[in-house]
């Protein structure tokens, strides 16, 4: 754990202590460990303050709150509430069929260790017209830590959301959320925070760290960020998944993510590691030891020459730039330890070229997420856990004289609902394949996100063109596309070509 992150946690804990020392309304009633919290909620008048005592063993209940009240513990290290019945019932369900105001404070909500790997175990579920404040709490070991839907409003202050499996915080519909001085961390497989539909969120002085993905914003959601950090997230620190979504704010701190920004995320949200210069040629190592620093420093349209060697990187390609290595057998870009990406090309950027390189995540994620415009030339993409290249959104991309080999090595690729390809295409992406080799990938060599290719929905309206001499063979190593042929209009749609090489419209 880095020094600054330890300081951030300490600062948050100090804030928690200060907040807890402030004068609070007195308890209307106190629930002892052998008593029922739900019974107290049901009998309490509107606006009651229900207090839970400190005890070494957790209260084990599922609570439904439909009235205005405060539920208070004796401290998040002293009072614990855990779920009792494994299923789809949240531990705390706040239902606002009418406007209500609910405060949760000073305790820890958690499923028992091991339960968090089961689906749909929500810690706190807020819906309807409820207005909820959560203060000085831990939310942990759920499949989803907090879910906020409908027109509900949620304010988080000094909250530590961690060890949740799928999402720490899920915000949907027209919900509004404000987060201050909090930690969203260590979400296992998906997002620390996901904001979708037309939801709104404000993020202030908060750290989003060590998640699969940090913050993902989709649909027409709008997020405003200030004074926050995105650190050590395996895939993207911040993803803007749709052109309609908006993320606003001054530059934030990003460090050690698979890639700092992905999709439609604006480059202005990220603090560069080095100031931009007027230099059009730089070397790594030499002028800069760190490749991202060199990308940040070079003038738009410049070239960075990378010497032979192995470089652990998590790159955000946010301006026109050429990265030129000494050849695929000499210059290797690989993901940072424990990360699922080598780099991201964000939307709206053209003129990105990668030449004479090899790129791998060493069996973990995908080499590159591509939403911008650019080209690979004499590049080897190999041994990535899922897709070699994921090309999506408005991307316009050419793979020239390159090889996409042996991708789809992660165990999840053997699950029927996971498709791991050499190249995966979605959205309006346009791909030109020229004089390249696509071989020995787990599922398709090239696949569009279409139901005919095994995807859950049709999500590709782009184009793929072939020029020169391309070799696509030996893919479908798992045999999951046996009997599928090679659907679509392309040269590999032939009875003589083994199943599972190419699937396009």
For 428-481, what is the HEC assignment? CCEEEEECCEEECCCCCCEEECCHHHCCCCCCECCEEEEECCCEEECCCCCCCC
pLDDT tens for 216-238 read: 999 999 999 999 999 999 999 99
* Residue 310 contacts residue 327 (beta carbons within 8 Å): no
Query: Can you tell me the distance from the alpha carbon of 143 to that of 235, in angstroms, rounded to the nearest whole number?
Result: 19
For residue 295 the two structure tokens come to 């990308």
Class of domain 308-503: mainly beta
Would you kindly state where each structural domain of the chain is located, as residue ranges? 3-165, 308-503
* Residue 158 contacts residue 184 (beta carbons within 8 Å): no
Question: Which residues lie closer than 8 Å to 97 by C-beta, 6 or more apart?
Answer: 66, 128, 129
Question: Which residues lie closer than 8 Å to 433 by C-beta, 6 or more apart?
Answer: 398, 399, 446, 464, 465, 466, 467, 470
Query: Can you tell me the distance from the alpha carbon of 154 to that of 103, in angstroms, rounded to the nearest whole number?
Result: 10
Query: Can you tell me the distance from the alpha carbon of 82 to that of 123, in angstroms, rounded to the nearest whole number?
Result: 9
- Tell me the three state secondary structure of residue 377: strand
- Tell me the three state secondary structure of residue 295: helix
Q: What is the chain's pLDDT, residue by residue, as a tens digit (505 residues)?
A: 444 444 444 444 444 444 444 578 999 999 998 899 999 999 999 999 999 999 878 999 999 999 999 999 999 999 999 988 777 789 999 999 999 999 999 999 998 766 656 667 899 999 999 999 999 999 999 999 999 999 999 999 999 999 999 999 999 999 999 999 999 999 988 999 999 999 999 999 999 999 999 999 999 999 999 999 999 999 999 999 999 999 999 999 999 999 999 999 999 999 999 999 999 999 999 999 999 999 999 999 999 999 999 999 999 999 999 999 999 999 999 999 999 999 999 999 999 999 999 999 999 999 999 999 999 999 999 999 999 999 999 999 999 999 999 999 999 898 878 999 999 999 999 999 999 999 999 999 999 999 999 999 999 999 999 999 999 999 999 999 999 999 999 999 999 999 999 999 9
Query: Can you tell me the distance from the alpha carbon of 411 to that of 466, in angstroms, rounded to the nearest whole number?
Result: 31
* Residue 444 contacts residue 422 (beta carbons within 8 Å): yes
For the chain, the C-alpha Rg in angstroms (whole number) is 25
* Whole-number Cα distances in Å, 108 to 253, 313, 406, 425: 29, 37, 45, 42
């Amino acid at each position: 754990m880095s020094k600054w992150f330890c300081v951030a946690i300490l600062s948050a804990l100090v804030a928690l202590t200060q907040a807890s020392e402030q004068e609070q309304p007195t308890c209307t009633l106190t629930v002892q460990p052998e008593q029922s919290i739900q019974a107290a909620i049901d009998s309490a008048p509107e606006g009651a303050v229900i207090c839970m005592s400190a005890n070494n063993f957790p209260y084990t209940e599922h609570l439904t709150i439909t009235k205005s009240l405060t539920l208070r513990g004796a401290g998040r290290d002293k009072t614990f509430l855990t779920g009792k019945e494994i299923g789809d019932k949240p531990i705390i369900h706040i239902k606002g069929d009418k406007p209500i105001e609910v405060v949760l404070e000073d305790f820890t909500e958690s499923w028992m260790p091991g339960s968090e790997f089961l689906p749909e175990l929500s810690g706190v579920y807020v819906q309807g017209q409820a207005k909820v404040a959560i203060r000085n709490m831990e939310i942990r070991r759920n499949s989803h830590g907090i879910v906020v839907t409908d027109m509900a409003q949620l304010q988080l202050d000094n909250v530590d959301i961690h060890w949740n499996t799928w999402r720490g915080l899920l915000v949907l519909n027209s919900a509004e959320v404000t987060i201050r001085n909090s930690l969203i961390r260590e979400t296992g497989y998906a997002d620390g925070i996901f904001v979708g539909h037309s939801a709104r969120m404000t993020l202030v002085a908060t750290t989003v760290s060590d998640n699969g993905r940090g913050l993902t914003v989709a649909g027409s959601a709008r997020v405003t960020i200030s004074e926050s950090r995105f650190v050590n997230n395996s895939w993207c620190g911040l993803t803007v998944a749709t052109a309609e979504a908006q993320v606003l704010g001054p530059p934030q701190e990003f460090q050690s993510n698979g890639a700092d920004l992905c999709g439609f995320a604006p480059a202005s949200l990220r603090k560069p590691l080095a100031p931009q210069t007027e230099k059009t040629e730089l070397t790594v190592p030499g002028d800069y030891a760190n490749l991202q620093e060199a990308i940040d420093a070079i003038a738009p349209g410049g070239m960075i020459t990378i010497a032979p060697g192995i470089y652990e990187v998590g790159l955000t390609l946010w301006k026109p730039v050429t990265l030129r290595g000494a050849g695929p057998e000499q210059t290797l870009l690989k993901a940072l330890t424990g990360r699922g990406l080598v780099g991201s090309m964000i939307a709206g950027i053209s003129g990105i070229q990668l030449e004479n390189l090899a790129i791998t995540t060493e069996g973990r994620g995908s080499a590159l997420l591509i939403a911008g415009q650019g080209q690979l030339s004499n590049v080897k993409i190999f041994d990535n856990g899922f897709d070699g290249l994921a090309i999506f959104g408005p991307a316009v991309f050419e793979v020239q004289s390159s090889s996409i080999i042996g991708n789809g090595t992660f165990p999840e690729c053997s699950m029927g609902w996971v498709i791991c390809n050499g190249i995966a295409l979605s959205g309006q992406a346009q791909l030109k394949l020229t004089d390249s080799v696509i071989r020995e990938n787990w599922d398709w060599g090239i696949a569009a996100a279409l139901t005919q290719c095994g995807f859950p929905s049709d999500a590709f309206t782009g184009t793929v063109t072939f020029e020169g001499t391309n070799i696509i063979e030996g893919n479908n190593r798992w045999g999951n596309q046996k009997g599928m042929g090679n659907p679509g209009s392309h040269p590999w749609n032939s009875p003589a070509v083994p199943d599972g090489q190419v699937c396009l419209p």
